Amino acid sequence: MLSKTIETALNKQIRIEAESSQVYLAMAVWAEVKGLEGIANFMYDQSDEEREHMLKLVKFVNERGGHAHISDLSAPNVDFKSFKLMFEKLLDHEIFVSTSINELVHITLQERDYATHNFLQWYVSEQIEEEATARTILDKINMIGDDKGGLYLFDRDIQQLTVQSAADTPLE
């Protein structure tokens, strides 16, 4: 059974995950309109993934005797001056989500809710990967600079981007 404190905190995270899906969706639409099909498809996939993260939380709350709340969402930014600035905003957003997950983990320890703490470890690892991906993308964008040919190749190749984060790397 979830405490009211944990239920409230998890519902806050449900909203954050839903808003994250909307952030990625807005970025996908912007990229698609700009003719950046690869970036758009990457962002559509990310939007779907964030929605799955939200649904996983919804199910968990309900299965633990709580009541998941679906609330109104803040409208995301829908216009970006450049694809580089868009990815910088993306990294900032992922850092915000990581901070929120970490706060949630802290609350579970204070409440001695070890089942929820254990459940949230997946999100902790996922955020390490999300931040690493955003940083890798920004590194590649910085290498491209203003080269239009580089942008073309980046747009084509982003869908095959895989990033191995430290959390996924076995120690030898």
Q: Return the domain boundaries, the chain.
A: 4-163
pTM comes to 0.89
Q: Which CATH class, in words, describes the domain spanning 4-163?
A: mainly alpha
pLDDT tens, 134-148? Answer: 999 999 999 988 777
Amino acid code (one letter) for 17: E
For residues 22 and 73, the answer to whether their CB atoms sit within 8 Å is yes
End-to-end alpha carbon distance in the chain? 40
What is the share, in percent, of the chain residues with pLDDT greater than 90?
Answer: 77
pLDDT tens, 22-76? Answer: 999 999 999 999 999 999 999 999 999 999 999 999 999 999 999 999 999 999 9
Residue 131: C-alpha distances to residues 60, 65, 126, 153 (Å): 24, 32, 9, 22
In 3D space, the residue among 43, 52, 58 whose CA is nearest the CA of residue 93 turns out to be: 43
Rounded CA separation 112/104 (Å): 12
